[in-house]
Structure 1
Amino acid sequence: MHIDIHDEIDRKALEAMEAAMAIIFEGGLNRAQADALLGVLQTGFNGITTAKLDYGSLLTELSVSVAGTPDWQCVFSRVYRSPAGTLHRLVISNCTLKFAQIGEKSGSDYELEFAVPSEAFRMANHKHNELLKAGYRIGRRQS
Protein backbone atom coordinates (compact mmCIF):
# COMPACT_ATOMS: atom_id res chain seq x y z
CA MET A 1 0.00 0.00 0.00
CA HIS A 2 1.40 3.36 -1.06
CA ILE A 3 0.58 6.47 0.98
CA ASP A 4 1.30 9.83 -0.60
CA ILE A 5 2.79 11.93 2.20
CA HIS A 6 1.61 15.19 0.60
CA ASP A 7 -1.98 13.96 0.42
CA GLU A 8 -1.75 12.84 4.06
CA ILE A 9 -0.39 16.25 5.14
CA ASP A 10 -3.20 17.99 3.23
CA ARG A 11 -5.82 15.75 4.81
CA LYS A 12 -4.53 16.30 8.37
CA ALA A 13 -4.14 20.04 7.86
CA LEU A 14 -7.66 20.40 6.52
CA GLU A 15 -9.03 18.33 9.42
CA ALA A 16 -7.28 20.65 11.89
CA MET A 17 -8.62 23.76 10.15
CA GLU A 18 -12.15 22.34 9.95
CA ALA A 19 -12.07 21.44 13.66
CA ALA A 20 -10.85 24.94 14.54
CA MET A 21 -13.56 26.59 12.44
CA ALA A 22 -16.25 24.35 13.96
CA ILE A 23 -15.19 25.42 17.46
CA ILE A 24 -15.07 29.09 16.44
CA PHE A 25 -18.39 29.27 14.61
CA GLU A 26 -20.28 27.17 17.19
CA GLY A 27 -19.51 29.94 19.68
CA GLY A 28 -16.93 28.01 21.66
CA LEU A 29 -14.44 30.88 21.41
CA ASN A 30 -14.75 34.64 21.39
CA ARG A 31 -13.08 36.60 18.59
CA ALA A 32 -9.79 37.16 20.48
CA GLN A 33 -9.55 33.45 21.30
CA ALA A 34 -10.38 32.56 17.69
CA ASP A 35 -7.63 34.89 16.44
CA ALA A 36 -5.18 33.28 18.86
CA LEU A 37 -6.12 29.77 17.70
CA LEU A 38 -5.72 30.73 14.04
CA GLY A 39 -2.37 32.35 14.88
CA VAL A 40 -1.17 29.08 16.41
CA LEU A 41 -2.27 27.19 13.30
CA GLN A 42 -0.52 29.74 11.06
CA THR A 43 2.69 29.35 13.07
CA GLY A 44 2.44 25.56 12.86
CA PHE A 45 1.84 25.53 9.12
CA ASN A 46 4.17 28.43 8.27
CA GLY A 47 6.17 27.61 5.15
CA ILE A 48 4.45 24.29 4.47
CA THR A 49 2.97 24.04 1.00
CA THR A 50 2.04 21.13 -1.20
CA ALA A 51 1.16 21.04 -4.86
CA LYS A 52 -2.53 21.28 -3.91
CA LEU A 53 -2.68 23.70 -0.96
CA ASP A 54 -1.05 26.84 0.37
CA TYR A 55 -1.83 26.75 4.09
CA GLY A 56 -0.79 30.34 4.72
CA SER A 57 -3.34 31.63 2.21
CA LEU A 58 -6.09 29.39 3.57
CA LEU A 59 -5.46 30.50 7.15
CA THR A 60 -5.29 34.15 6.12
CA GLU A 61 -8.71 33.78 4.46
CA LEU A 62 -10.06 32.15 7.63
CA SER A 63 -8.63 34.98 9.76
CA VAL A 64 -10.30 37.57 7.53
CA SER A 65 -13.57 35.66 7.81
CA VAL A 66 -13.35 35.61 11.63
CA ALA A 67 -12.36 39.29 11.77
CA GLY A 68 -15.44 40.16 9.71
CA THR A 69 -17.86 38.59 12.17
CA PRO A 70 -19.22 40.60 15.08
CA ASP A 71 -17.83 39.71 18.50
CA TRP A 72 -20.55 37.41 19.71
CA GLN A 73 -22.00 37.38 23.16
CA CYS A 74 -24.98 35.40 24.29
CA VAL A 75 -26.97 36.88 27.14
CA PHE A 76 -29.89 35.36 29.00
CA SER A 77 -31.57 36.65 32.13
CA ARG A 78 -34.49 35.39 34.20
CA VAL A 79 -35.93 36.59 37.51
CA TYR A 80 -37.22 34.17 40.16
CA ARG A 81 -39.27 34.86 43.30
CA SER A 82 -38.43 32.64 46.28
CA PRO A 83 -41.16 31.19 48.52
CA ALA A 84 -40.15 33.89 51.06
CA GLY A 85 -40.72 36.62 48.45
CA THR A 86 -37.10 37.61 47.71
CA LEU A 87 -36.14 38.17 44.09
CA HIS A 88 -33.18 36.39 42.49
CA ARG A 89 -31.71 36.78 39.01
CA LEU A 90 -30.13 34.02 36.91
CA VAL A 91 -27.89 35.50 34.16
CA ILE A 92 -25.80 33.89 31.43
CA SER A 93 -23.30 36.14 29.68
CA ASN A 94 -21.03 34.30 27.25
CA CYS A 95 -19.52 31.51 29.35
CA THR A 96 -20.46 32.87 32.78
CA LEU A 97 -23.48 31.85 34.84
CA LYS A 98 -24.46 34.10 37.76
CA PHE A 99 -27.19 33.56 40.32
CA ALA A 100 -27.75 36.35 42.83
CA GLN A 101 -30.38 37.89 45.05
CA ILE A 102 -31.54 41.22 43.64
CA GLY A 103 -30.71 44.23 45.79
CA GLU A 104 -28.41 42.67 48.37
CA LYS A 105 -25.90 39.86 48.65
CA SER A 106 -26.97 36.53 50.07
CA GLY A 107 -25.33 33.24 50.90
CA SER A 108 -26.92 31.64 47.85
CA ASP A 109 -25.19 33.98 45.34
CA TYR A 110 -22.61 32.42 43.04
CA GLU A 111 -20.80 32.82 39.73
CA LEU A 112 -19.52 29.95 37.57
CA GLU A 113 -17.25 30.04 34.50
CA PHE A 114 -17.56 27.45 31.73
CA ALA A 115 -15.49 26.55 28.67
CA VAL A 116 -18.33 27.18 26.21
CA PRO A 117 -21.72 28.94 26.40
CA SER A 118 -23.63 25.68 25.89
CA GLU A 119 -22.28 24.37 29.22
CA ALA A 120 -23.52 27.53 30.97
CA PHE A 121 -26.98 27.03 29.44
CA ARG A 122 -26.99 23.36 30.49
CA MET A 123 -26.21 24.36 34.09
CA ALA A 124 -28.83 27.15 33.97
CA ASN A 125 -31.44 24.61 32.90
CA HIS A 126 -30.44 22.37 35.82
CA LYS A 127 -30.62 25.32 38.25
CA HIS A 128 -34.01 26.35 36.81
CA ASN A 129 -35.42 22.88 37.54
CA GLU A 130 -33.94 22.94 41.07
CA LEU A 131 -35.51 26.34 41.77
CA LEU A 132 -38.94 25.26 40.57
CA LYS A 133 -38.78 22.13 42.78
CA ALA A 134 -37.80 24.35 45.73
CA GLY A 135 -40.94 26.45 45.25
CA TYR A 136 -39.48 29.42 43.35
CA ARG A 137 -41.69 31.08 40.73
CA ILE A 138 -40.61 32.76 37.53
CA GLY A 139 -41.12 36.52 37.45
CA ARG A 140 -41.50 39.47 39.78
CA ARG A 141 -45.22 39.28 40.54
CA GLN A 142 -46.60 37.97 43.82
CA SER A 143 -49.07 35.12 43.43
Structure 2
Amino acid sequence: MTSPSPFAILHATCVSIGKRGVLILGPSGSGKSDLALRLIDRGAMLISDDGVEVRAESGRAIASAPATIAGQLEVRGLGIVALPAYDEIPVSLCISLDSERHRMPPDPLPVLSVAGLPVPMLALDPFEPSAPIKVERGLALYGLPA
Protein backbone atom coordinates (compact mmCIF):
# COMPACT_ATOMS: atom_id res chain seq x y z
CA MET A 1 0.00 0.00 0.00
CA THR A 2 1.32 3.45 -0.90
CA SER A 3 1.18 6.43 1.41
CA PRO A 4 -1.32 9.19 0.61
CA SER A 5 -0.14 12.05 -1.55
CA PRO A 6 0.00 15.46 0.16
CA PHE A 7 -0.61 17.19 -3.22
CA ALA A 8 -2.94 16.44 -6.11
CA ILE A 9 -4.23 18.05 -9.28
CA LEU A 10 -7.84 17.03 -9.83
CA HIS A 11 -10.13 17.29 -12.85
CA ALA A 12 -12.73 19.12 -10.79
CA THR A 13 -14.31 22.47 -10.04
CA CYS A 14 -14.22 24.17 -6.65
CA VAL A 15 -16.29 26.97 -5.14
CA SER A 16 -16.34 28.62 -1.75
CA ILE A 17 -19.57 28.83 0.21
CA GLY A 18 -18.83 30.96 3.22
CA LYS A 19 -15.41 29.87 4.42
CA ARG A 20 -15.78 26.27 3.22
CA GLY A 21 -14.84 24.74 -0.09
CA VAL A 22 -17.02 22.46 -2.17
CA LEU A 23 -15.14 20.26 -4.62
CA ILE A 24 -17.31 19.17 -7.58
CA LEU A 25 -16.06 16.02 -9.31
CA GLY A 26 -17.19 14.35 -12.51
CA PRO A 27 -16.17 13.58 -16.09
CA SER A 28 -16.07 16.18 -18.86
CA GLY A 29 -19.56 17.40 -19.74
CA SER A 30 -21.10 16.14 -16.49
CA GLY A 31 -22.16 19.59 -15.26
CA LYS A 32 -19.36 20.68 -12.92
CA SER A 33 -19.08 24.20 -14.33
CA ASP A 34 -22.84 24.57 -14.75
CA LEU A 35 -23.46 23.68 -11.11
CA ALA A 36 -20.65 26.02 -10.04
CA LEU A 37 -22.18 28.86 -12.08
CA ARG A 38 -25.54 28.38 -10.38
CA LEU A 39 -23.86 28.28 -6.97
CA ILE A 40 -21.96 31.47 -7.81
CA ASP A 41 -25.27 33.09 -8.79
CA ARG A 42 -26.45 32.22 -5.25
CA GLY A 43 -23.41 33.87 -3.59
CA ALA A 44 -20.61 31.30 -3.81
CA MET A 45 -17.15 32.37 -5.03
CA LEU A 46 -15.08 30.60 -7.64
CA ILE A 47 -11.88 28.89 -6.55
CA SER A 48 -11.05 26.99 -9.75
CA ASP A 49 -12.78 25.43 -12.74
CA ASP A 50 -11.83 22.26 -14.59
CA GLY A 51 -8.58 21.81 -12.69
CA VAL A 52 -7.99 22.15 -8.96
CA GLU A 53 -4.72 21.93 -7.07
CA VAL A 54 -5.20 20.39 -3.63
CA ARG A 55 -2.54 20.15 -0.95
CA ALA A 56 -2.54 18.86 2.60
CA GLU A 57 -1.88 21.57 5.16
CA SER A 58 -2.46 21.44 8.92
CA GLY A 59 -4.75 18.43 8.58
CA ARG A 60 -6.97 20.04 5.93
CA ALA A 61 -7.19 19.66 2.16
CA ILE A 62 -6.63 23.14 0.70
CA ALA A 63 -7.90 23.83 -2.84
CA SER A 64 -6.53 26.48 -5.18
CA ALA A 65 -6.43 27.24 -8.90
CA PRO A 66 -3.48 26.61 -11.19
CA ALA A 67 -2.14 30.04 -12.22
CA THR A 68 -3.04 29.49 -15.88
CA ILE A 69 -6.79 29.20 -15.19
CA ALA A 70 -7.29 31.32 -12.06
CA GLY A 71 -10.43 33.45 -12.18
CA GLN A 72 -11.86 31.71 -15.24
CA LEU A 73 -15.01 29.59 -15.62
CA GLU A 74 -16.02 27.76 -18.78
CA VAL A 75 -19.66 28.54 -19.53
CA ARG A 76 -20.93 26.35 -22.36
CA GLY A 77 -22.38 28.52 -25.07
CA LEU A 78 -20.53 31.63 -23.84
CA GLY A 79 -16.92 30.47 -23.64
CA ILE A 80 -14.37 31.27 -20.95
CA VAL A 81 -15.71 33.93 -18.59
CA ALA A 82 -13.60 35.93 -16.13
CA LEU A 83 -15.02 35.93 -12.60
CA PRO A 84 -13.86 37.12 -9.19
CA ALA A 85 -12.21 34.24 -7.36
CA TYR A 86 -10.64 33.42 -4.03
CA ASP A 87 -7.05 32.15 -4.00
CA GLU A 88 -7.66 29.10 -1.81
CA ILE A 89 -10.13 27.41 0.52
CA PRO A 90 -10.23 24.39 2.86
CA VAL A 91 -12.28 21.61 1.24
CA SER A 92 -15.27 20.71 3.42
CA LEU A 93 -17.41 18.63 1.04
CA CYS A 94 -17.08 16.74 -2.23
CA ILE A 95 -19.94 16.48 -4.70
CA SER A 96 -19.75 13.51 -7.06
CA LEU A 97 -21.62 13.88 -10.34
CA ASP A 98 -20.85 10.37 -11.60
CA SER A 99 -21.53 8.22 -8.53
CA GLU A 100 -24.72 6.27 -7.95
CA ARG A 101 -27.33 8.54 -6.44
CA HIS A 102 -29.50 7.31 -3.58
CA ARG A 103 -32.86 8.45 -2.31
CA MET A 104 -31.28 8.86 1.14
CA PRO A 105 -27.56 9.38 1.74
CA PRO A 106 -25.70 6.24 2.83
CA ASP A 107 -24.93 5.90 6.51
CA PRO A 108 -22.10 6.43 7.07
CA LEU A 109 -21.57 8.99 4.34
CA PRO A 110 -18.80 8.00 1.92
CA VAL A 111 -15.51 9.87 2.18
CA LEU A 112 -13.07 10.67 -0.59
CA SER A 113 -9.34 10.91 -0.01
CA VAL A 114 -8.33 14.40 -1.14
CA ALA A 115 -4.58 15.03 -0.94
CA GLY A 116 -4.53 12.08 1.46
CA LEU A 117 -7.20 13.49 3.77
CA PRO A 118 -10.81 12.24 4.19
CA VAL A 119 -13.57 14.56 2.95
CA PRO A 120 -17.30 13.67 3.06
CA MET A 121 -18.88 13.04 -0.35
CA LEU A 122 -22.45 13.35 -1.66
CA ALA A 123 -23.68 12.15 -5.05
CA LEU A 124 -26.02 14.59 -6.83
CA ASP A 125 -27.59 15.20 -10.22
CA PRO A 126 -26.19 18.62 -11.18
CA PHE A 127 -29.01 19.42 -13.60
CA GLU A 128 -31.89 19.14 -11.14
CA PRO A 129 -33.26 22.64 -10.46
CA SER A 130 -32.70 22.03 -6.73
CA ALA A 131 -29.05 20.96 -7.12
CA PRO A 132 -27.49 24.24 -5.84
CA ILE A 133 -29.78 24.18 -2.81
CA LYS A 134 -28.89 20.53 -2.16
CA VAL A 135 -25.18 21.44 -2.25
CA GLU A 136 -25.73 24.21 0.31
CA ARG A 137 -27.85 21.96 2.54
CA GLY A 138 -25.38 19.09 2.16
CA LEU A 139 -22.56 21.39 3.21
CA ALA A 140 -24.57 22.49 6.28
CA LEU A 141 -25.43 18.89 7.23
CA TYR A 142 -22.32 16.92 6.32
CA GLY A 143 -19.45 19.30 5.51
CA LEU A 144 -16.31 19.55 7.59
CA PRO A 145 -16.20 22.68 9.79
CA ALA A 146 -14.37 25.79 8.56
> Normalised by the shorter chain, which TM-score bucket?
under 0.3
Which structure's CA Rg is the greater one?
A: 1
Normalised to the residue count of structure 1, the TM-score between the two structures is: 0.23
The structure, 1 or 2, with the larger RCO (C-alpha pairs under 8 Å, 6+ apart) is: 2
Higher strand share: 2
